[in-house]
Amino acid sequence: MTATSPATSHTTYLTAAFYKFVELSNFAELKEPLLAFCESQDVKGTILLANEGINSTIAGPAAGVRAVLAFLKNDLRLATLEHKESWSTKPPFYRMKVKLKREIVTMGVPTVNPNEMVGKYVKPRDWNALISDPDVLVIDTRNTYEIDIGTFKGAVDPRLKSFSLFPEWLMAQPQIAESEAKKAGEIDKKTKVAMFCTGGIRCEKSTAFLKAQGFDEVYHLEGGILKYLETVPEAESLWQGECFVFDERVTVGHGLKVGDYGLCRACREPISQADKESPLFVLGLSCPHCHGRKTEEDLARFKERQRQIQLAKQRDDA
């Protein structure tokens, strides 16, 4: 997907988010050439590589980001790679990382393969009608701290600390179906389930998991919350709050405009303006969510990291 750059001349950073489930048997060999090319284009962010595919968000000059996308698509396995774009006036990332992983999104269920089976994709324009159906169970597959700042009206909140806990949570839920079988600990696999996440990748695995369990009707929001916020007018939206993103923007709202939250560098949770005004907030070291929970070694490490962040910002401003 290609977005049009805003007309304002001060907008200089293009962010591209993308993933693809595809067998990359030589993924370890891709790391160094990819890292070198990104650095040569002044592109920063994180790219995860695994045997099951690629997952990434990168940012930088528009020409550099597009060059990296073209570089990736030169690999025939990634030729159909799709991405989502947004723009910002501040750098979303301060360094470039390419990491080798067992999974590009960790569920911890080796038998789940989105390349073989996933739920039905639902376009953002059709999502409102689906989740407004009283016979559809809507589940937010994201983590607690993400849901706390925004979600779809009526969605079930699993209160997950990590996505890897999702299978266990799902199978234990009495909310899955209103039936005597359910109350006895069995899941009614005829239940209609609609799931969503930030960009769509977690739903690829969560819907694949449900399909593998024998669920008949499983749906997920194509392109995730970000695509919905980009394309559905705010006046028609069923989204409430802001959407957490994994970069320096922290949160976005309708039209993918940068939101009002910051990020605690110590616990990586979003923080509001009220959190920043708390006496428990110390830039880079603590916030009301994590104050008093870190060791002296942690605090020393955080102080050094904050110093490095400030140096990186100064280099970008120079």
What residues does each domain of the chain span? 13-100, 120-231, 270-317
Q: Residue 95 has which token pair?
A: 């360094």
Q: Over the stretch 191-225, which tens digit does the pLDDT of each residue have? A: 799 999 999 999 999 999 999 888 889 999 999 99
- Rounded Cα distance between 245 and 261, Å, is 11
pTM of the entire structure? 0.81
Q: How confident is the model at residue 186 (pLDDT cuts 50, 70, 90)?
A: very low
Contact 270, 244 (CB under 8 A): yes
* Residue 181 reports pLDDT greater than 60: no
- Rounded Cα distance between 30 and 244, Å, is 29
CATH code, residues 120-231: 3.40.250.10
Backbone conformation region of residue 80, classed left if phi is above 0, alpha if psi is from -120 to 50, else beta = alpha
Catalytic residue among 197, 203, 264, 287: 197
Q: Residue 89 has which token pair?
A: 């006036």
Q: How confident is the model at residue 318 (pLDDT cuts 50, 70, 90)?
A: low
pLDDT at residue 184, rounded to an integer:
39
3-state secondary structure of 30: helix
| 155 Cβ neighbours under 8 A, 6+ residues apart | 131, 138, 139, 140, 196
Q: Do domains 13-100 and 120-231 have the same CATH topology?
A: no
Is 287 designated active site? no
pLDDT at residue 180, rounded to an integer:
37
- Rounded Cα distance between 12 and 315, Å, is 16
pLDDT at residue 302, rounded to an integer:
87
Q: Residue 310 has which token pair?
A: 């400030």
- Domain spanning 13-100, CATH class: alpha beta
Q: How confident is the model at residue 2 (pLDDT cuts 50, 70, 90)?
A: very low
* Residue 67 reports pLDDT greater than 70: yes
Q: Over the stretch 215-254, which tens digit does the pLDDT of each residue have? A: 889 999 999 999 999 999 999 999 999 999 988 789 999 9
